[in-house]
Chains A and B, each alone.
Chain A
Amino acid sequence: MLSISNLHVSVGDKPILKGLTLDVPAGEVHAIMGPNGAGKSTLGYALSGRPGYEATEGAVAWKGDDLLTLDPAERAAKGVFLSFQYPLEIPGVPAMTFIRTALNAQKRARGEEEVSAPAFLKLVKAASAALKMDFDMLKRPLNVGFSGGEKKRMEILQMALLEPSLLILDETDSGLDIDALRIVADGVNAMRSPERSMLVITHYQRLLDYIKPDRVHVLVGGRIVASGGPELAHALEADGYDQYMVQAA
């Protein structure tokens, strides 16, 4: 289970997260909703260890490890996966090479046996077919010249192959049309399992029609200001964040 307690994160000199506390038990999907500037993306970066998003106070425990002491690659090997709102382009590195390098680096870090090239090819073919992806795309440099939808699908493909245990989806629905959204959501839903925790960060309720959360948290002003069941997302869609803004200020 993921346990965040009193997390404070500053970006530059500016405090963004101001005492965030949150538990996500194994097997559950929790949504983080909040207005622009509430610190949603910062939470994703802080959990995954992006330089410049260091915690100044608080703790993050994941399966008994103190995540905050690990570098980003070590966190990934522990199962942390951040699906980026805007996945990066990696010129010159074919998507397949990238994913295999990542998978084997994680396996090395965990003391597991690496996956051979033929075995990996088999895995990747099956996973890309399930996401209705053109296999040739995997031979191209990762995300270079891909559309927004293709990039998101590539994120889901990586997720399926790396099999993380803590998924953080940062505004995964942004830039997706309904068809692409359905494919991406199906990919995420296929990952749901009793061992896996998911944190779905989103501005809009729309995504949560496709990825049904067990719990919904409202993030405003760097803190969780309200928590509830899936009905909370619908209430937010109807009433907006204004009521919480006052409370946070």
Chain B
Amino acid sequence: MNAPVRIDLKTVETIPSRRTEAWKYSDLRRWLRDEPPLSPALPEGEPNAGPFKALTRNEVLIANGRLNWWSEGEMEPGIEVSRHAGPDAPRMADEMPMGALAAAKALEGVYIISFKAGAPRTLALRLLSDAVKTGHHARIGVVVEAGAHATLLESHEGWGEAYLSNTLLEITVEKGATLERVVLVDEPHDAISVASVEVRLSKQAAYHQTIAASGAKLQRLETRIAHAGEGATVRMDGLYALSGDRHTDLTSVVDHLGPDGLTSQLTKGVVRDTARGVFQGKIIVERGADGTDARMGHHALILGERGEIDAKPELIIYADDVQCAHGNTVGNLDESALFYMQQRGIPAEEARALLTQAFLIEVVDRIAHEGAREVARTWLTERL
């Protein structure tokens, strides 16, 4: 096996391409051949303007890779934001080379958002890109301390065109803590964006994630979870609705390191036109991680002749006493059902949207935070 490559955008050979197994469906090198100029700093953005604005006043706004605004002084007790120069390498630099690049290039080190034990807290983390043919990197840490309960409402809000956005998010959920992370990703059709998320989950902790993505020229949302088991639970869901020539890649790895861990993963998507959806899900059950219960499902619809879905579900099991299952389906809408709906007076386009929404809504329904669930529902309806 080759030594892990450190990406240097000035050296095109170091950029992952379709010859790199983990990137074979998302050929970054095809679109990114050189280092783009640094994105400019933005004037102070409008606070509380993201998709989750109605749900919380606690907010951190990162714009073009820099801290732009945060609700300093108005933050509810139990949430702290601090900055570290952060010379330390990320924990999974080898597995997530773009994450390592983000750590190396992040302009302002790492911002760490900490949730303390006490009343449950909700925070909006907004990652704003407003750039034209430039690039920016950011590194953010989230720590949910032992016994704390947090909801992270994350929005990737993209404006401008043809930018490169590269983010590393490192999350620690300590013993007995819970974090629900709901992520909405909206970017221009010609943007390149990679978000590498690394989660360390302690015993008896819970991490619940839902990502909803509408694609970009190349968009990769990667999550790697080190799962301690012993009562710890993961729910990791994804949703994509792609049209035009958009691409999104939901890649994930859950590594069950200890016994009696639970993982439930459900990803659903729809592609139209020449759009391309990529799902790579890997669940590893390490030796000794007996009693693991892990389930992974990916189900997608291709509407139209020229859309593409690439799905690669993997279960790698080294323990004996485990329950693991995965299911993967790719299909089209049922023509008979469509005719039935039209016969009752529902126009074809509306019937398609209704059936598609009905297919995808299962993922939204799994979001526990009621307000976020409604925002995600609206997000989905507007994209069908």
Check A101 against B342 for contact (C-beta < 8 Å).
no
A residues 79-112 touching B (CB-CB < 8 Å): 80-82, 84, 87-93, 98-99, 101-103, 105-106, 109
A64 at the B interface (CB under 8 A): no
Residues of B within 8 A of A84 (CB): 340
* B105 nearest CB across to chain A (Å): 43
Q: A73-B347, A105-B350 are contacts. A90–B342 as well, Cβ < 8 Å?
A: no
Chain A nearest CB: distance from B358 CB in Å?
3
- Which B residues are CB-close (under 8 A) to A158? 344
A90 to B362, alpha carbons, bound, how many Å? 14
B348 at the binding interface (Cβ < 8 Å):
yes
B318 near A: Cβ within 8 Å? no
Chain B interface secondary structure, helix, strand, loop or mixed?
Answer: helix
Assess the B345–A77 pair: CB atoms within 8 A: yes
| Residue numbers in B under 8 Å from A51 (CB-CB) | 335, 339
Q: A109 with B345: in contact, given A88-B336, A90-B340 (CB under 8 Å)?
A: yes
Query: How big is chain B's contact interface, by range?
Result: 20 to 34
How many interface contacts (CB-CB < 8 Å) are there between A and B? 75
B104 at the binding interface (Cβ < 8 Å): no
Chain B's closest residue to A158 (CB) is B344
Q: Are A93 and B355 in contact (CB under 8 A)?
A: yes
Chain A interface category by residue count: 20 to 34
CA separation between A162 and B334, bound complex, in Å?
23
Say if the beta carbon of A71 comes within 8 Å of chain B.
yes
Residues on B with beta carbons closer than 8 Å to the beta carbon of A77: 345
Does A32 sit within 8 A of B, measured CB to CB?
no
B361 close to A72 (CB less than 8 A): no
A99 neighbours in B (Cβ, 8 Å): 344
| Complex alpha-carbon distance, A75 and B343, angstroms | 8
Q: Is the CB of B341 within 8 A of A92?
A: no
Task: Let me know if B345 and A162 touch, CB within 8 A.
Answer: yes
A172 contacts the other chain (CB 8 A): no
Write the chain A residue with the least CB distance to B337: A88
Q: Is the CB of B339 within 8 A of A76?
A: no
* Chain B residue nearest in CB terms to A94: B358
* B336-384, CB < 8 A from A: 336-337, 339-348, 350-351, 354-355, 357-359, 361-362
Say if the beta carbon of A48 comes within 8 Å of chain B. yes
Q: A84-B340, A106-B345 are in contact. Are A92 and B359 (CB under 8 A)?
A: yes
A81 to B337: give the CA distance in the assembly, Å.
15
Within 8 Å of chain B (Cβ to Cβ): is A63? no
B347: A residues at CB distance < 8 A = 71, 73, 105, 109
**How far does the Cβ of A243 sit from chain B's closest Cβ, in whole Å?**
35
Which residues 308-346 of B have a CB within 8 angstroms of A?
Answer: 334-337, 339-346
A206 at the interface (CB under 8 A from B): no
B-side contacts of A93, CB under 8 Å? 354-355, 358
Provide the residues of chain A in CB contact with B335, threshold 8 Å.
51
Q: Contacts A50-B339, A80-B343, A105-B346 known; list 12 others, CB within 8 Å.
A: A73-B342, A73-B347, A76-B342, A76-B344, A84-B340, A92-B355, A93-B355, A98-B344, A101-B346, A101-B350, A141-B358, A162-B344
User: Can you give 20 contacting A-B residue pairs, CB < 8 Å?
Assistant: A49-B342, A71-B348, A72-B343, A73-B342, A73-B346, A76-B345, A81-B343, A84-B340, A87-B340, A88-B340, A91-B359, A92-B355, A92-B358, A93-B354, A93-B355, A99-B344, A105-B345, A105-B346, A106-B345, A158-B344
